């Protein structure tokens, strides 16, 4: 990618594409989750899509600059832990009601309220938990692994 004579850092094309890809990838991720329970895709895939966008930004701009440009990334640890807690709650709330774990509501024969294609049920909130966790973990990993050499070309 970078020969010995080329200037350090990725080309301007990569940087621009990375920037531009961010918004569409979030849209795709949301779409994956929303229709996840009725069509292809789930929380993990959605999380990967956003994670990819974050990683691409880190590669293109350098992790620190990407984080400066997207301050929201700071909340990644909360997303990871919150996702885990949401998934845990979605799976284990039936225990409080004396049912086996992962007895999702609404139950098999009950009616599901849908907003467009999105079904409002605990299985979907479990999926959202997975999504948050994957995004959070990928972002934290990118942050941590980029730490050792701080901004080579800054």
Query: Is residue 54 a contact residue for other proteins (CB under 8 A)?
Result: no
Most distant CA pair in the chain, distance: 68
Work out whether 26 is an interface residue with other proteins (CB under 8 A): no
User: How big is the site for other proteins, counted in residues (CB under 8 A)?
Assistant: 59
Within positions 64 to 93, which residues make up the interface with other proteins, using CB under 8 A? 74, 76-77, 80-81, 83-84, 87-88, 91
Q: Quick one: three-class SS letters along the chain? A: CCCCCCCCCCCHHHHHHHHHHHHHHHHHHHHHHHCCCCCCCCHHHHHHHHHHHHHHHHHHHCHHHHHHHCHHHHHHHHHHHHHHHHHHHHHHHHHHCCCCCCCCCCCCCCCCCEECCEECCHHHHHHHHHHHHHHHHHHHHHHHHHCCCCCCCC
Q: Which of 22, 26, 30, 52 binds other proteins (CB under 8 A)?
A: 52
Task: Confirm or reject binding of residue 135 to other proteins (CB under 8 A).
Answer: no
Identify which of residues 23 and 121 has a Cβ nearer to other proteins in the complex.
Answer: 121
Question: Pick from 19, 21, 31, 44: which binds other proteins (CB under 8 A)?
Answer: 44
**96 binding other proteins? (CB under 8 A):** no
Residues 43 and 129 sit within 8 Å (Cβ to Cβ): yes
Binding residues for other proteins, per CB under 8 A?
1-4, 10, 36-45, 48-49, 51-52, 55-56, 58-59, 74, 76-77, 80-81, 83-84, 87-88, 91, 101-102, 104, 106, 108-109, 112, 119, 121, 123-124, 126-127, 129-130, 133-134, 136-137, 140-141, 143-145, 147-148
């Amino acid at each position: 990618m970078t020969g010995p004579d080329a200037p350090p850092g990725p080309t301007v094309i990569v940087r621009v594409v990375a920037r531009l890809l961010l918004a569409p990838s979030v849209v795709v991720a949301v779409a994956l989750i929303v229709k996840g329970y009725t069509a292809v895709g789930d929380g993990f895939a959605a999380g990967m899509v956003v994670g990819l966008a974050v990683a691409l930004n880190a590669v293109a701009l350098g992790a620190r600059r990407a984080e400066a440009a997207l301050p929201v990334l700071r909340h990644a640890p909360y997303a990871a832990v919150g996702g885990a807690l949401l998934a845990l709650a979605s799976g284990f709330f039936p225990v409080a009601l004396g049912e086996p774990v992962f007895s999702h509501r609404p139950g098999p024969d009950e009616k599901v309220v849908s907003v467009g294609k999105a079904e409002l049920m605990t299985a979907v909130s479990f999926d959202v938990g997975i999504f948050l966790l994957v995004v959070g973990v990928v972002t934290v990993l990118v942050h941590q692994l980029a730490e050792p050499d701080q901004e080579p070309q800054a």
